[in-house]
Structure 1
């Protein structure tokens, strides 16, 4: 048995014969212990600082990488936005052009439909008269002649009338089909229904100095419907000359006018004359 004893005298007297004395070194100084403890603390702090430095480096590196990725994303988004805006502008431009073209086509179709509708109404309006004329023409060929009016002429009270849709001078109109000669008031009303609101030539002239009807009717004995102060043979036309040809105004009154004036006219012939 080995016993450790700090007090040498006690150990020598008390256990001298029994135990073998082992000498222990004296305790380490407190300063050394403190130094060891401070060294460990410094190592711990140093290790912590190293870890913090490594963490900061890692975070900094990741931040730089994230910033670079964010910059790339911003550039890509900017390019994408520019491209989208450009394509959108092109689409809007093309769409606007196509819309304008479609609107123009639609307006044209509407005008065409209105024109066709007006033409159809006109045909429907004249259909009974055209049918009657056609029936008369068929009867004419079957019976070798009948007292019906030619196609596009209107029959009224035993006479056939043709109303122009364009203008000519008085002489051109007379040479074309023969102007309407003298007519009683009842015929004047019928004529106005088909000429109003246009002024219309009639077959009356004083080119030789006195008024006469082109069909030979006696002017002095025939019906007259001159407007107030007419005929006046006005000489103020720019091309010179007076007023030697008669026209029917929209109000039904007669007026003498410059024969070179271009306006509509009416032709008349007896119903027993076919053409």
Structure 2
């Protein structure tokens, strides 16, 4: 009987995210390992019911870094004006992890954010170089 209860609890906990997605703090994340542009990755994330990942804390940043397995990945930050915004339209201000503080203000010609293998954020062109990406579905 105890084995059945444990299996039922494990099934319920794991049922929050579909296969290929990983749960963290009530949301589901997936590494898009194929390299592409920020725009195409975000379109694919939206098609799957999410967006490119917005990052709200150091813990979430560390989780996404581990999920990326040492790869540079696009995350959901972008600027098509004077301020950074998250792809899910949530507030950008609060937590940040810039490799170069100069990037905290959107530089011309580099309006998309990627995370490097150290978990630090960098401003990049949205198309070059193509990278992997991390999607999130928030509930």
Normalization by structure 2: what TM-score?
0.78
State how far apart, in whole Å, the 2-side matches of 1:203 and 1:230 are.
19
Q: How far apart in 1 are the matches of 2:83 and 2:98?
A: 15
Equivalent residue in structure 1 for 2:102, among 225, 230, 242: 230
Aligned residue in 2 for 1:163: 31
Query: Which sections of structure 1, spanning at least 5 residues, go unmatched?
Result: 1-130, 140-146, 236-241
Show the counterpart of 2:42. Answer: 174
**Runs of 4+ displaced beyond 6 Å:** none
Aligned length: 125
Asked whether the equivalents of residues 153 and 161 of structure 1 are also in contact (C-alpha less than 8 Å), the reply is yes
The change in CA–CA distance for 1:183 and 1:229 in structure 2 (over 3 A counts) is closer
SS of residue paired to 1:193: helix
Cα offsets for 1:131-188 (capped at 9, x unmatched): 99x9459x9xxxxxxx711121001121111111211100001100120013311111
Matched, 1:208 2:50: no
* 1:235-267 deviation digits (Å, cap 9, x = unpaired): 6xxxxxx10000111111110001112100001
Q: Which residue of 2 aligns with 1:196?
A: 69
What CA distance in whole angstroms lies between the structure 2 residues aligned with 1:254 and 1:230? 11
| Aligned CA distance change for structure 1 residues 136 and 152 (closer, same or farther; 3 Å) | farther
Structure 1 stretch displaced more, 168-177 or 222-231: 222-231
Larger of the two Rg values belongs to structure: 1
TM-score, scaled relative to structure 1: 0.41
Q: Distance in 1 between matches of 2:78 and 2:107?
A: 14
More contact order relative to length (CA 8 Å, sep ≥ 6): 2
Instruction: Provide the rounded CA distance (Å) in 1 between the counterparts of 2:114 and 2:135.
Output: 13
Determine which structure has the larger helix proportion and give its number.
1
* Alpha-carbon displacement from aligned partner over 1:18-67 (angstroms, at most 9, x marks no partner): xxxxxxxxxxxxxxxxxxxxxxxxxxxxxxxxxxxxxxxxxxxxxxxxxx
Aligned counterpart, 2:19: 151
5+ residue gaps, structure 2: 1-6, 46-50
The structure whose residues are more often strand, as a share, is 2
